[in-house]
Structure 1
Amino acid sequence: MELNVVDLSRLQFAMTALYHFLFVPLTIGLSILLAVMETVYVMTGREIWKRMVKFWGTLFGINFVLGVATGLTMEFQFGMNWAYFSQYVGDVFGAPLAIEGLMAFFLEATFVGLFFFGWDKLSKRQHLAATWAVALGTNFSALWILIANGWMQHPVGAVFNPDTMRMEVTSFFDVLFNPVAQAKFVHTVSAGYVTAAMFVLGVSAWYMLQGRHLQIAKRSMAVAAAFGFASALSVVVLGDESGYEANLNQKMKLATIEAMWETEPAPAAFNLVAWPDMENRENLFAIEVPYVMGLIATRSLDTVIPGINELVDRSKDRIRQGAIAWDALQKIRANPAEASEDIRETFRQNAGSLGYGYLLLPYTDDPLTATMEQIDAAAWSTVPNVFPMFYAFRIMVACGFFFILLTAVFFYYSSTGKLDVLREKRRWILHITVWSIPLPWIACEMGWFVAEYGRQPWIIESMLPTSAGVSSLSVTEVLLTLAGFVILYSTLLVIEIALMIKYIKIGPEEHTPDKEAIPSAMSAGSAPRSIPVPAE
């Protein structure tokens, strides 16, 4: 296969993004769990809850540091590998990223220091406030990043200026409250909450199987089960909202997720299992559930969901319009001061399809003279590979329902005070939980694959193709940086896993009597040399 700068740049960004998101969901979820646990500690004054916060806080800290290390390079890639994209959308895209750095990242970074080093310097309530500030900062950080990403999925509140060749903000309110961005935010952070809950459940299950730190393990399970069960349910509900938004704004993504080649009468069936064939543009076989897809995606019985073939035909019309817009844009760029009002009006009438005109550039130097074969090829380039999209989505959904089931089981046993039954009679549930620790990360990565690969060939949906956004680099340059990132990120991942395993094996700090408890016991007449240490 011939290597090119576009595919290598995409591979590099995908690799760094997927690596980075190994750390993000656990950071988001653990920050909230730490705040909840410390709230219980402040309310009850029981030292065991403080030990829990410190133990899970250590694992949070390891994950937080490596998340920051892997995330910093991603923003630099916009300038290194995607220079034209950065120039094209800098006025829009830069604002959320800047706010994320100034408002969210500095907030969480400042209070992370107070969380780790402020135990003996702050009062209980002051330290609790710092912990909640870390949690809020972490979630705010996700909000602004997802506002930027959501704008790429559904660009609103901005228009293209042919004189500056840039997108310019017309309504920051629309950018901020973009429905796609809001749906992505709540869905993503809920997935992070599930990731943290499953992680805490898995580690606690391992302690129960080992017969170690049982009181901390059971309390951690109780918090994680309730938190995880509610979050897992919300992921499904919010995922449904994301699917609804995709039907409104990214119809091709939805059609490829469902391997829906032909438009069906409403309400459309849901393909439970299928074998998509991209070459022949059909499914070799499919097991369908009637009506389900139409109800989920449209929330109605009479709204039609267009299939892939119909959407490709629609694209051909927009490609022809885009070619006209592209031609008018070249004339404006050649002499902006003297471009006639007729040329500008022609551009304005077809500007909404300009991105589709760019799809012809890999096939011809002049889109206005494109042949039917070239238009057909450009139209089919709007279809992502259906097979990986179809099964990535179903892996994610299957994991989601498994999380609901597993957290519901632990919620039942913890709320009825029967967690010891798991250790004594149903150890197989604990074993399943330990082996399930990686599943939330698999689900999250599948979700991001569907979200990002599903909007190809667009780097900005329907406005700018990915192939038009790259920097002027050589294949060798991108290959060298790609190899460097693979080596660096793989090393960081090994360090992360090794440190996590090390501190999980060490476990929470051993319990020591409260300073206040010693004089109290002595004043009661007990011998100072025989003060018992309460068992966990």
Structure 2
Amino acid sequence: MDALDVARWQFGVTTVYHFLFVPLTIGLSVLVAILQTLWHRTGDEKYLKLTKFYGKLFLINFAMGVVTGIVQEFQFGMNWSDYSRFVGDIFGAPLAIEALVAFFLESTFIGLWIFGWDRLPKRLHLASIWAAAIGTNLSAYFILAANSFMQNPVGYRYNPDTGRAELTDFVAVLTNKVALITFPHTIAGAFLVAGSLLVAVALWHLIRNPDSTDTPAYRFAARFGSWVTLIAATVVVITGDIQGKIMTQVQPMKMAAAEGLYTTESPASFSVLTIGSLDGSRELFAIKIPYLLSYLGTGDPNGTVHGIDDLQALYTAQYGPGSYTPIIPVTYWSFRFMIAFGLAAAAIALLVLWSQRKGRTPRGKWLLRAGLAMPILPLLANSFGWIFTEMGRQPWIVFGEMLTRDGVSRSVSLAEVLTSFTAFTLIYATLAVVEVKLLVRYAKAGVPDVTPEPEPDDTDDADRPLAFAY
């Protein structure tokens, strides 16, 4: 073990942990805004209850996401200074806009929304949550544009004198074809998580207390969340299909690693399950779907998908000696876990809708258990999706330009990285307990009472004590 290994583990752990909060924040910001819009337009009290209820869960998650996200930026300077020096000119623009515009918009209007209840005019207060939601999604786009440069470098030139990538076309960075498809795919994944949370919490209250006066609110939340989940899952599948084809164009090794495909095939099959050697080079048993990998990679059922061995030989000739193959078991299984967990959440959402057909109230402990698992499934799908995206790019930190081993800080020792890794892991574990306890506590509390307090009776104030106000 050396400093590079620990630095990679630290960044992986902190990034995956941070991304547990990101999709819920992105999705819930819009869903809460929709719920408040429904209240504003209809005046129905149940929408106000749901707005305040899920709004509180959104704020808890948002606060935790901000805290954990700050660490990411510090790691670039601490553990990955050579990488930061190389891409700083490229990343500076989108990340500066994200901080100065998107995050400023997001945080400012969330503050107005929190403290503006019964103080701001209703329309202005509604506009504040929509502005915060827009800021949240804009923030995601600029960050994804920076990440997409790592997958498919565009809009730059390499300066051999400084050893840095220099920005030449900012528009090209923002319109990178990887970013243009990764953004809707990621946002759809966020709605998959948020819709699942709506269903899980509402289902818990419906099954535990079906005769509650708040049952109509929970019934709507369960249906609304289920439809959001199903629509999001559909968009995830469509955008994922497009993303797979673009990935095959810009990073063919990643597609080959997703299947553990060592030899070039035309047509190529997709294996649902494979049992073989640890590195995937020798197959003992497999369940395969013919032509599917060719279609996923090229759009043609008979298309050619290049294998790992041929691509390794090509990259060796192009970039010099070395291994350009990612860790195959990680890419193979993370790709399948991503798909399986996402589809499982969609299946449960369909089951919840079926349980409410013709006005029925959902019942049964198995449905409750499935519903409570719903938010966890898309969170796992999102996490495995990012693990596949980042690990499938290895050994490159910027594809075709910089190897991961060349991006680590040379002045940071193994002991220093190990210390910070241990500290962050313990702190994040503590924050995880706090987050879960807060979410569970307020989710169990149920929707709040929104009945306005009666106005004080000032008609007879003879016995009221005198008061002086400055």
Q: Where on the TM-score scale, by shorter chain, does this alignment land: which range?
A: over 0.9
Tell me, in whole angstroms, the C-alpha distance in 1 between the residues paired with 2:404 and 2:20: 24
| Stretch deviating more after TM superposition (49-58 or 429-438) | 429-438
Q: Which amino acid aligns with 1:450?
A: F
Q: Deviations over 1:175-204 (max 9, x none)?
A: 100011121111111101000100110111
User: Residue 418 of structure 1 corresponds to which residue in structure 2?
Assistant: 359
Tell me, in whole angstroms, the C-alpha distance in 1 between the residues paired with 2:122 and 2:368: 34
Contact 1:276 1:387 in 2 (8 A): no
2:274 is equivalent to residue 274 of structure 1: yes
Tell me, in whole angstroms, the C-alpha distance in 2 between the residues paired with 1:10 and 1:246: 23
Tell me, in whole angstroms, the C-alpha distance in 2 between the residues paired with 1:410 and 1:179: 37
Contact 1:275 1:387 in 2 (8 A): no
The match for 2:136 among 135, 138, 144 is 138
Aligned residues: 453
Task: After TM superposition, give the deviation of residue 151 of structure 1 in Å.
Answer: 0.7
Q: Which amino acid aligns with 1:268?
A: A
Contact 2:194 2:375 in 1 (8 A): no
Contact 1:236 1:400 in 2 (8 A): no
Tell me, in whole angstroms, the C-alpha distance in 1 between the residues paired with 2:19 and 2:171: 28
Q: Which has the larger radius of gyration?
A: 1
Q: Deviations over 1:412-470 (max 9, x none)?
A: 555x55242x23xx553233112333111111111111001111111001110000001
Task: Report the CA distance shift for 1:209/1:279 in structure 2 as closer, same or farther (over 3 A).
Answer: closer
Contact 1:195 1:440 in 2 (8 A): yes
Tell me, in whole angstroms, the C-alpha distance in 2 between the residues paired with 1:274 and 1:253: 18
User: Residue 214 of structure 1 corresponds to which residue in structure 2?
Assistant: 215
Tell me, in whole angstroms, the C-alpha distance in 2 between the residues paired with 1:19 and 1:195: 15
Written as runs of structure 1 = structure 2, the 5 A alignment for 1:96-111 is 96-111=94-109
Report the 3-state secondary structure (helix = DSSP H, G, I; strand = E; otherwise coil) of the residue aligned with 2:325. Answer: coil
User: Residue 113 of structure 1 corresponds to which residue in structure 2?
Assistant: 111
Contact 2:60 2:439 in 1 (8 A): yes
TM (normalized to structure 2)? 0.93
Contact 1:150 1:180 in 2 (8 A): yes
Give 5+ residue unaligned stretches, structure 2: 458-470
Tell me, in whole angstroms, the C-alpha distance in 2 between the residues paired with 1:143 and 1:308: 32
Tell me, in whole angstroms, the C-alpha distance in 2 between the residues paired with 1:150 and 1:124: 39
| Percentage of pairs with the same residue | 40
Task: After TM superposition, give the deviation of residue 492 of structure 1 in Å.
Answer: 0.9
Contact 1:218 1:419 in 2 (8 A): no
TM (normalized to structure 1)? 0.81
Contact 1:259 1:283 in 2 (8 A): no
Written as runs of structure 1 = structure 2, the 5 A alignment for 1:98-497 is 98-211=96-209, 212=212, 213-265=214-266, 267-278=267-278, 281-320=281-320, 375=321, 378=322, 381-411=323-353, 416-420=357-361, 422-423=362-363, 428-472=366-410, 473-497=412-436
Contact 2:345 2:374 in 1 (8 A): no
Q: Which amino acid aligns with 2:359?
A: K
2:446 is equivalent to residue 507 of structure 1: yes
Contact 1:259 1:271 in 2 (8 A): no
Report the 3-state secondary structure (helix = DSSP H, G, I; strand = E; otherwise coil) of the residue aligned with 2:88. Answer: helix
User: Residue 63 of structure 1 corresponds to which residue in structure 2?
Assistant: 61
Tell me, in whole angstroms, the C-alpha distance in 2 between the residues paired with 1:127 and 1:95: 31
Tell me, in whole angstroms, the C-alpha distance in 2 between the residues paired with 1:280 and 1:408: 35
Tell me, in whole angstroms, the C-alpha distance in 2 between the residues paired with 1:167 and 1:105: 26
Task: After TM superposition, give the deviation of residue 514 of structure 1 in Å.
Answer: 7.7
Give 5+ residue unaligned stretches, structure 1: 321-374, 520-536
Contact 1:62 1:500 in 2 (8 A): yes
Task: After TM superposition, give the deviation of residue 313 of structure 1 in Å.
Answer: 1.1
Task: Report the CA distance shift for 1:169/1:513 in structure 2 as closer, same or farther (over 3 A).
Answer: closer
Task: After TM superposition, give the deviation of residue 26 of structure 1 in Å.
Answer: 0.6
Task: Report the CA distance shift for 1:291/1:279 in structure 2 as closer, same or farther (over 3 A).
Answer: closer
Task: After TM superposition, give the deviation of residue 410 of structure 1 in Å.
Answer: 3.5
Q: Deviations over 1:231-259 (max 9, x none)?
A: 11101111111111111011111101111
